[in-house]
Structure 1
Amino acid sequence: MSRHFVWDPLLRIFHWSLVALFATNALFDNPESKLHRWIGYTIGGLIVLRLLWGFAGPHSARFASFLPTRAGLIRQITDMATGRRRVHLMHTPLGALMIFNLLLTLCGIIATGVMMTTDAFWGVGWVEEMHEVLVSWAEVSVALHVGAVLWESRRTGVNLPKAMVTGVKCVPDDAKIEA
């Protein structure tokens, strides 16, 4: 196994804090409570921090380092279909699409959540409906993300959840590495 340091501490803290806060708001908290709003504001702050880190952080955190291309997406899908084991040191092209999806969805959830607290949008049906639709989409996306992480971990032999905890990807010696 070769070891590759990939995820910096800020990125890992962001990820797991977001997991805990989103799960708390989605599964355990009353949407009408003050705690729900404060968790939403905290998630908003985390998103702002991640956006800044995506432009100023280390290479592996920068959005430019994992922009998916059509060729990369086709190559990853082909690898999955044919059983070819190619390990991406950072995000896979499909994983990058999921990250952008989740960040944009969370921005929409936060925007509609804040809108619902203003006089201009208090009680406006479409804002509340859009908030609920975006939360549902985020939940579906999270389920797909977790499933894909487990699938890719098994398929490639790389323990991706462990890598997101430790920051280090341990890659089997016989795997082809895609930087």
Structure 2
Amino acid sequence: MNTTSASPAEAARKVLIWDAPVRVFHWLMVFSFAGAYLTAESERWRLLHVSLGYTMVGLVIFRIVWGLVGTRHARFSDFVRGPKAVASYIRGMLRGDPETHVGHNPLGAVAILVLLTLTLVIGASGWAVFNDAGGEWLEGAHEFAANFMLAVIGVHIAGVVMTSRRARVNLVGAMVTGNKVARPEDGVRSAWRSVAALMLVAVAGFWWLQWQQAPTAQGLASHAASSTHKDGDNDDD
């Protein structure tokens, strides 16, 4: 269990809870989704939209692996709980007495799993749409999944704010520094900054390779224009 029961005196020091890869993953996902969502309707920024979408998929694949082999609180086994645990946590929030968790709480775990799944759905459907592997229904599904993900993110942010206020814990700050007030034995030994650095290098390298296609990015517009033309031909039938 990751629910703490230590007395204030025992838990009066900040310890490392979130390793560097988890934090880098989190903020890269925030940046990538925001960028991809804002550029979704622009043909001019189509290359950026596609690149950020692929980046999100790559990040999720990494997170799945890290959730199996990463540090204590990064592992799915540490925070993924069953329906009873989620219901118990929600009841505690409604009573104004939320359970205290060192790592992700059960409700946050649900949001994480949903967001990871939605990212893969959005990435797969986006790839199919871009490569004309599906009809208009797939484009609609891609857009719906993206909007649904935005809604889940909104609920997640509201939950973070509510939990931070009621439990008097700065969860946003913890995802920046990696530190939370907890017992020393609840902390992780290493921040694994080397892995985080490799993540940044890999993402930057991918963006650089994608940017090399920028001179031919007009092909993206031509691709979209061709699709529009085909749709117009179909409308005439």
TM-score (ref. length: structure 1): 0.88
Q: Map 1:62-73 to 2 at 5 A.
A: 62-73=75-86
Q: Percent identity?
A: 36
The code of the aligned residue for 1:135 comes to: A
1:164 counterpart (159, 167, 175) = 175
* Consecutive unaligned residues in structure 2, runs of 5 or more: 1-11, 187-237
Q: TM-score, normalised by structure 2?
A: 0.68
1:142 aligned onto 2:153: yes
- Root-mean-square deviation (Å): 1.7
Deviation at 1:85, TM superposition (A): 4.3
Render the CA deviation track for 1:61-112: whole Å, top value 9, x for unaligned: 1112111223311221221122224311011110000000100011100010
Does the Cα contact within 8 Å between 2:22 and 2:74 map onto a contact in 1?
Answer: yes
1:53 matched to 2:66:
yes
Partner of 2:47: 34
Are residue 105 (structure 1) and residue 118 (structure 2) matched? Answer: yes
Name the structure 2 match of 1:154.
165
Letter matched to residue 139 of structure 1? L
Where does residue 120 of structure 1 map in the other structure? 133
What is the alpha-carbon distance in structure 2 between the residues aligned to residue 119 and residue 134 of structure 1? 18
Point out where structure 1 has 5 or more consecutive residues left out of the alignment.
Answer: 172-176
Q: How many Å separate the matches in 2 of 1:90 and 1:102?
A: 17
Map of 2:106 onto structure 1: 93
Q: Is the 8 A contact 2:79 2:109 kept in 1?
A: yes
**Are 1:83 and 2:96 matched, yes or no?**
yes
- Name the CA distance, whole Å, in 2 between partners of 1:57 and 1:113: 29
Indicate the structure whose relative CO is greater, using CA pairs within 8 Å and at least 6 residues apart: 2
Preserved contact between residue 159 and residue 170 of structure 1 (Cα < 8 Å): no
Alpha-carbon distance in structure 2 between the residues aligned to 1:8 and 1:48? 17
Q: Partner residue of 1:174? A: none
Deviations 1:136-175 (A, max 9, x none): 001101111111100100010000000000111136xxxx
Please give the secondary structure, in 1, of the residue aligned with 2:130. Answer: coil
CA distance in 2, matches of 1:29, 1:114: 13
- Between structure 1 and structure 2, the one with the greater Rg is 2
* Bigger share in strand: 1
Q: Size of the alignment, in residue pairs?
A: 170
Cα 1:119–1:30 change in 2 (3 A) is closer
1-10 or 89-98: bigger deviation: 1-10
TM-fit CA distance, 1:30? 4.3
